[in-house]
Amino acid sequence: MSYLYGNIPIDQILCGDNQELIRQLPDSCIQLVITSPPYFQQRDYGGGMGNESHVDEYIDKLICLFRECVRVLKDDGNLVFNIGDKYQDSSLLLVPYRFALAATNTELVRLVNEITWVKKNPTPRQFKRRLVSSTEPFFHFVKSDNYFYDTKAFLAEPSTIQKSQKKTNTKVGQRYFELIEESELSEAEKASARLELAEAIQEVKRGETQSFRMKIRGIHAAPFGGQMGGRTLQLKNKGFTIIRIYGNRLKRDVIETPVAAEKGNIHPAIYPVDLIEEFLHLLTPHGSVVLDPFMGSGSTAVACKKLGRHYVGYDINAEYCEFAKNRVDGTEIKMRNMFEGI
């Protein structure tokens, strides 16, 4: 059995009420809390929260737990909460936004992003007078400005590299060398432009960026709007500016992935493991500890095991706990993560 420190269990899924279990954790021991609480009045999981009679009561309960999550979070930690909405009398209750507002009102956290999960395969239901919901928010909160944020690891994730490498050709950026020569830049400015262009080309070849655009004084128009922003000033003072493009997955607050299908699954509402892997790359170092207080079928734990992170998980339903444990046992560690951080 593994331990975090003292008698705090890691790499385990404990069965019980998270409001009680989380109190056993000391302050500031968790790197990332990532979770999906039961949505308001959507399902009966056989106990626990979600079926309060009023949405305010639901939000109050959730905020109680949220406060505890902030307490156990390290100062440079991150919190990610995924919450779905609910129709009442044919009107959306805006439950996710009620929660996000209440969470920021605690003044314990700041909201960095609302990341939209676009479900590529929403349940095919046809409503007569409304569209099929196919998105859900993931709210990303932090405790301090110093939050862990590893864009490089996020970019280095294989599918991203493969994508950018596919697009890399040996001629990338070469035309800009010709434009530098044709430009009105001084010899010193041309030399510095060539140097930075060569570095930008290497970044694309190494898969660190997807591509870039270069603007050169006298060749390209100043950025639209004509205000003296950073790029306009660079064009004026240095003679050129390079705009790096990191690709959709890094820059956009949207993650597109299908709703998960899991062999032998007994849980009605699982989120996709690959979506959680995205957050692990971005928000946690290798070997750190992740908490999911609503562990359900164990998706968070599976993602952690695959990527060499530790997990602490709770669920109130014993059947789900058992299923989740078996699912984690059957999960293999991704080879490249076995040696990471050694």
Ligand X SMILES: C[S@@+](CC[C@H](N)C(=O)[O-])C[C@H]1O[C@@H](n2cnc3c(N)ncnc32)[C@H](O)[C@@H]1O
Determine how β-strand 254-257 pairs with β-strand 110-119: parallel
Tokens of 139: 């709210």
Q: Is 17 in the site for ligand X (CB under 6 A)?
A: yes
Pattern 37-66, ligand X, x by CB under 6 A: -x------x--xxx----------------
Quickly list DSSP for 99-158: HHHHHHHTTS-EEEEEEEEEESS------SSSPPP-EEEEEEEESSTT----HHHHHHSH
The Cα-based distances of 138 to 104, 222, 299 in angstroms read 15, 37, 15
**Contact of 103 with 63, CB cutoff 8 Å:** yes
**Contact of 325 with 24, CB cutoff 8 Å:** no
Please identify which residue in the block is written with the tokens 């078996």.
326
Q: Is 314 in the site for ligand X (CB under 6 A)?
A: yes
**Contact of 48 with 317, CB cutoff 8 Å:** yes
Pattern 240-279, ligand X, x by CB under 6 A: ---------------------------x-xxx--------
Of 36, 78, 160, 284, the one binding ligand X by CB under 6 A: 36
Taking the complex as a whole, how short is the minimal distance between the CB of residue 317 and ligand X, in angstroms? 4
Residues in the interface with ligand X (CB under 6 A) total 22
Instruction: Indicate the SS3 state at residue 236.
Output: helix
Taking the complex as a whole, how short is the minimal distance between the CB of residue 65 and ligand X, in angstroms? 8
Distance CA 44, CA 65 (A): 19
C-alpha angle 63/66/72, rounded to 5°?
A: 150
Distance CA 121, CA 96 (A): 21
**Based on CB atoms, which residue is closest to ligand X, 183 or 317?**
317
Taking the complex as a whole, how short is the minimal distance between the CB of residue 299 and ligand X, in angstroms? 3
Q: Which of residues 284-313 bind ligand X (CB under 6 A)?
A: 294, 296-297, 299
Task: Select from 118-126, 194-202, 225-233, 315-323 the region that touches ligand X (CB under 6 A).
Answer: 315-323
Q: Is 176 in the site for ligand X (CB under 6 A)?
A: no
Taking the complex as a whole, how short is the minimal distance between the CB of residue 264 and ligand X, in angstroms? 13
**Based on CB atoms, which residue is closest to ligand X, 31 or 35?**
35
Taking the complex as a whole, how short is the minimal distance between the CB of residue 239 and ligand X, in angstroms? 52
Taking the complex as a whole, how short is the minimal distance between the CB of residue 21 and ligand X, in angstroms? 8
Taking the complex as a whole, how short is the minimal distance between the CB of residue 300 and ligand X, in angstroms? 6
Task: Select from 1-9, 16-24, 178-186, 326-334 the region that touches ligand X (CB under 6 A).
Answer: 16-24
Q: Which amino acid is at 292?
A: D
Q: Which amino acid is at 234?
A: Q
Of 290, 316, 327, 328, the one binding ligand X by CB under 6 A: 316
Q: Which of residues 143-172 bind ligand X (CB under 6 A)?
A: none
Annotate 296-320 with b (16+ C-beta within 10 A) or e (fewer): bbbbbbbbbbbbbbbbbbbbbbeeb
- Helices 55-72 and 95-105: crossing angle, nearest 10°? 50
Residues that bind ligand X (CB under 6 A): 17-19, 36, 38, 45, 48-50, 267, 269-271, 294, 296-297, 299, 314-317, 320
